[in-house]
Amino acid sequence: MRFLPIFLNIENKDCLVVGGGEVAARKLEMLLKANAQVRLVARELCEEVRLLVNEGKLKHIGQHYQEALLENCVLVIAATDNEQLNREISEQAQLRQLPVNVVDNPALCSFIMPSVIDRYPVQIAISTGGASPVLARLLRARLETMIPSTFGRLASLMQSVRARIRVQIPDMRQRRRFWEDILHGPVAELLYSGQEQAALSVLEKRLEHPEANTPDQGEVYLVGGGPGDPDLLTFRALRLMQQADVVLYDRLVAPAIVELVRKDAERIYVGKQRDQHAMSQQDINALLVKLATEGKRVLRLKGGDPFIFGRGGEEIETLAAQGIAFQVVPGITAAVGCAAYAGIPLTHRDYAQSCVFITGHLQQGKLILNWSGLIQPGQTIAVYMGVGAAKVLCDELVKHGMDAQTPVAIIQQGTTIHQRTYIGTLKTMPDIIENKDIQPPSMLIIGEVVRLREKLAWYDTTRQV
Ligand code: SAH
């Protein structure tokens, strides 16, 4: 190990920075985050640094560096574009045993600055020993996605009750088990999902009976898996997929997404509505309650977004009624995913000022929709579950006054490598659907915005299939 990793307390201490450009700005930002008293020497200030000076966050004490400025400093950073000057600062600082960093010149540094993941009070610092800052940044980006942004709140909460726990559970091994339970159980997850009060009350309950070996009540994560491309999952969805004990999913969830679930999690296929072997909605609701009551972390994985034509609302109503902890993780809904991957902006200043999401689900062969609301000019209509009813839908829209030449797109298996898009009009779309052997899931987008695809199409799957 060439460098000793340490965390330095520079709060209210004098630090000197020489240089006022963009690289200096990055260092200044870090020093200010650590509440240092920063003095800056620079001939020119970039916009960002000027702003910091104007806001009074640091003192611009002069244009020219002199050795006397090192007096009373605890740390020095040289970030000028004058190599000779940088060298001079480094030598003078090191003679005084002052830690010095010269930007982009490890040979002149007595310390280097890491890439930092900040989840205050938790900090993770990464260094490649100066070998490759790009690699450090890449690592940092990976870790950023894995560590919930509210991780620090958990640490603060633990800190606030630490002394109390030490008294209450004097045995060290028992205490460690207690903390592990807290970290892996609902307290942590409630905090991450922003339910601070609930987290506190679960913690309080555990503190009342710290030795009790009763398993926690389980919890349910209602998670949107997006339209198909696994890259469109949210960080939170992925994290929960990797910690769930059991996963309930239906046909709409792309296999590539189910693949990402923790390998030893139990997977339960609950089919989909029209599937003959499907579980009824009531059975699914009851199963969620049963599994959570057994103490399991249950992930209900849905295609797209759980609250858009996904019956997510009904599922959590049952949970709420039974007092079972749950959280909802939004996903990219099919309309949004398909539109993006088909090059069709759902709104556009010139073509559409609003967009409605409707379902084309037939009720006894009929579509019950607010037709006058739908035929408004300057409005895009995204139709879920609309392939079977496409003919009825297109005919009715024309009958109610929409131009038969209004463009319509059908997007099959949007965002996946099987995506296919066909363009027609209200008049021609029913025939296109009949002739093209459209595979589910597919959706329709109706409106002038469809014309933009000619210019904006970008996602090309023909090479990959
Ligand atoms: N909750 C889901 C929608 C469920 S309804 C969401 O927010 O996306 C199911 C309908 O969604 C399908 O019939 C189809 O119209 C549409 N759909 C879902 N995924 C799709 C995809 N990848 N491509 C095209 N349409 C899709």
Q: Are residues 419 and 441 in the same domain?
A: yes
Establish whether the linkage from the previous residue to 441 is cis, with ω within 30° of 0. yes
The 10 Å Cβ neighbour count of residue 433 is 23
pLDDT at 463: 46
How far apart, in Å, are the Cα atoms of 162 and each of 141, 191, 211? 31, 17, 16
Last residue of a domain, one of 186, 208, 230: 208
Which of 442, 445, 446 to mutate for ligand 1's pocket (most ligand atoms within 8 Å of CB)?
Answer: 442
Does 308 contact ligand 1 (Cβ within 6 A)?
yes
Q: Are 129 and 2 in contact (CB under 8 A)?
A: yes
Round to whole Å and give the CA distance between 349 and 26. Answer: 37
Instruction: Let me know whether 350 and 237 are in one domain.
Output: no
Q: Are residues 29 and 94 in the same domain?
A: yes
Q: Is 379 in the pocket of ligand 1 (CB under 6 A)?
A: no
The reply to whether 423 falls in a domain is yes
Number of domains in the chain: 4
296 among known catalytic residues = no
86-to-48, 71, 90, 104 alpha-carbon distances in Å: 22, 17, 6, 11
Give the side-chain half-sphere CA count within 13 A for 76. 32
What tokens appear for 378 in the block?
A: 């300057």
Q: Distance of CA 242 to CAs 393, 401, 444, Å?
A: 41, 50, 33
The CATH number linked to 92 is 3.40.50.720
Q: 3-state SS of the chain?
A: CCCCCCCCCCCCCEEEEECCCHHHHHHHHHHHHCCCEEEEECCCCCHHHHHHHHCCCCEEEECCCCHHHHCCCCEEEECCCCHHHHHHHHHHHHHCCCCEEECCCHHHCCCCCCEEEEECCEEEEECCCCCCHHHHHHHHHHHHHHCCCCHHHHHHHHHHHHHHHHHHCCCHHHHHHHHHHHHHCHHHHHHHCCCHHHHHHHHHHHHHCCCCCCCCCCEEEEEECECCCHHHCCHHHHHHHCCCCEEEECCCCCHHHHCCCCCCCEEEECCCCCCCCCCCHHHHHHHHHHHHHCCCEEEEEECECCCCCCCHHHHHHHHHHCCCEEEEECCCCHHHHHHHHHCCCCCECCCECEEEEEECCCECCECCCCHHHHCCCCEEEEEECCCCCHHHHHHHHHHCCCCCCCEEEEEECCCCCCCEEEEEECCCHHHHHHHCCCCCCEEEEECHHHHHHHHHCCCCCCCCC
> Is residue 134 one of the residues assigned to a domain?
no
Half-sphere exposure of 285 toward its Cβ, with a 13 Å CA cutoff? 15
Is there a single domain that holds both residue 319 and residue 363? no
Q: Among residues 187, 208, 229, which one ends one of the domains?
A: 208
414 lines ligand 1 (CB under 6 A): yes
- Residue 75 and residue 180 in one domain: no
- What's the first-to-final CA gap in the chain, in angstroms? 48
Residue 120 within any structural domain of the chain: no
Helix 47-54 × helix 22-33 angle, to 10°: 40
Pair of tokens at residue 246 = 């059991």
Does residue 227 line the site of ligand 1, with CB under 6 A? yes
Question: Is residue 396 within 8 Å of residue 370, measured between CB atoms?
Answer: no
* Rounded CA separation 223/254 (Å): 14
Q: For residues 380 and 423, state if they share a domain.
A: yes
pLDDT over 70 percentage in the chain? 96
Residues of the chain with pLDDT under 70: 210-216, 272-277, 462-465
Query: Residue 110, exposed/middle/buried by CB under 10 A (0-12, 13-18, 19+)?
Result: middle
Residues 6+ apart with CB under 8 A from 303: 224, 225, 226, 227, 228, 250, 252, 253, 254, 310, 331, 334, 441
Whether residue 196 is found in the same domain as residue 230 = no
Give the distance, in angstroms, between the CA of residue 329 and the centroid of all CA atoms in the same chain: 10
- Picking from 113, 129, 164, the residue at the C-terminal end of a domain is 113
User: Count of CB atoms within 10 A of residue 63's CB?
Assistant: 10
Is 410 found in the same domain as 325?
no
For residue 464, what pLDDT is reported? 41
User: Which residues span the domain enclosing 246?
Assistant: 219-332
Q: Is-contact 113 27, C-beta < 8 A? A: yes
Please identify which of the residues 14, 27, 229, 250 carries the catalytic annotation: 250
Phi first, then psi: what are they for 408, rounded to 5°? -135, 135
Mark whether 230 and 297 lie in a shared domain.
yes
Q: What is the CATH number of the domain that holds 201?
A: 1.10.8
Q: Which residues pair with 98 in a beta bridge?
A: none
Q: Residue 384: its pLDDT value, please?
A: 97
CATH number at residue 455: 3.30.950.10
The Å distance, Cα 220 to ligand 1 centre, comes to 23
Whether 181 sits among the annotated catalytic residues: the reply is: no
CATH number of the domain that residue 273 is part of: 3.40.1010.10
Based on the domain organization, do 359 and 411 belong to the same domain? Answer: yes
114 lines ligand 1 (CB under 6 A): no
Residue 38 lies inside a defined structural domain of this protein: yes
| pLDDT for res 276 | 56
Displacement of CA 159 from its chain's centroid (Å): 27
Q: Among all chains, which residue has been given the structure tokens 């002739």?
A: 435
Residue 104 zone, left/alpha/beta (φ > 0; ψ -120 to 50; rest): left
Both 314 and 351 in a single domain?
no
Per-residue model confidence (pLDDT) at position 215: 59
Same domain, 176 and 249: no
Residue 161 lies in a domain: yes
Domain for residue 136, yes or no? no
Residue owning the nearest CA to atom 18 of ligand 1: 334
Q: Which of 232, 252, 308, 416 to mutate to test the pocket of ligand 1 (most atoms within 8 A of CB)?
A: 252
Contacts of 276 (CB under 8 A, 6+ apart): none
Give the model's pLDDT for residue 424.
97
156 lies in some domain: yes
Indicate the angle between helix axes 196-208 and 172-184, nearest 10 degrees: 150
Phi–psi pair at 209, nearest 5 degrees: -130, 70
